[in-house]
A and B are shown apart, each in its own frame.
Chain A
Amino acid sequence: GNSVTQMEGPVTLSEEAFLTINCTYTATGYPSLFWYVQYPGEGLQLLLKATKADDKGSNKGFEATYRKETTSFHLEKGSVQVSDSAVYFCAEANNAGNMLTFGGGTRLMVKP
């Protein structure tokens, strides 16, 4: 079956540092790709998405570009804040768009 692999955490950064969380997927074709964020004590919520190759999803200063040639969807932010501390999940959708496969999650801790 399909799988999504993301870098293991925790990732610890100082405020205003540059963030990259790597994500690769295995599905063939052009699955929609997502980044979800889970703040402490809460459920997951959609951070950004991309539905076709070379699309760039962006939200709250985060970006990720759909790279078909490397089957990747890495999450980046130029300057992280303490409030970005959370667990980030990469996910891909099946062709029908009704089942998501999640990566294992990456915990980000940002220190002042």
Chain B
Amino acid sequence: NAGVTQTPKFRILKIGQSMTLQCTQDMNHNYMYWYRQDPGMGLKLIYYSVGAGITDKGEVPNGYNVSRSTTEDFPLRLELAAPSQTSVYFCASLRSQGGTGELFFGEGSRLTVL
């Protein structure tokens, strides 16, 4: 199993540009999450999904959108990039049925908005 795979690993955007961070998992996990981690800070939840077709806002959803058309994929969309969105983004997944509450994280996507 590859686990949770994120692409791209690095990206530089100009203000106002849009992009999609891709996330896919091959563990058949129901729950998927997007977090952002600002320098020297902890994790903040952006959006999460409890299964295909269902998404919900987390702590800091403004400026982002998500979709969950399949169990495997959970892309994060930035429509109008702003410098405040410069951060490292982590996708994670969790098996909800009989699981241990353990999150599996991708390696992160470092985004810089100039």
Which A residues form the contact surface with B (CB < 8 A)?
Answer: 32, 34, 36, 42-46, 49, 51, 89, 93, 96-100, 102-105
> What B residues does A89 contact at CB under 8 A?
42-43
Contacts of B106 in A (CB 8 A): 43
Q: Check if A49 sits within 8 Å of B103, measured CB to CB.
A: no
Listed by A's residue number, 23 A-B pairs whose Cβ atoms lie within 8 Å are: A32-B100, A36-B103, A42-B107, A42-B108, A43-B4, A43-B90, A43-B106, A43-B108, A44-B90, A44-B105, A45-B105, A46-B102, A46-B103, A49-B101, A51-B101, A93-B101, A97-B96, A97-B100, A100-B101, A100-B103, A102-B43, A104-B42, A105-B41
* Chain B residues packing against A (C-beta within 8 Å): 4, 31, 41-43, 48, 50, 90, 92, 94, 96, 99-103, 105-108
Alpha-carbon gap, A99 to B33, bound state (A): 9
4 new A-B pairs (CB below 8 Å) besides A43-B108, A104-B42, A105-B41? A32-B100, A44-B103, A98-B99, A102-B42
Contact between chains at A34 and B101 (CB < 8 Å): yes
Report how many A-B pairs have Cβ atoms within 8 Å.
52
Nearest 4 A/B pairs, CB to CB: A43-B105, A93-B101, A97-B101, A104-B42
Residue of A nearest to B31 (CB): A98
| B92: A residues at CB distance < 8 A | 43-44
Residue in chain B with minimal CB distance to A104: B42
Chain A hits for B102, CB < 8 A:
34, 46, 49
Whole-angstrom distance between the Cβ of B47 and the nearest chain A Cβ: 13
**What is the minimal beta-carbon distance from B65 to any residue of chain A, in angstroms?**
20
- In the complex, are the beta carbons of B94 and A49 less than 8 A apart? no
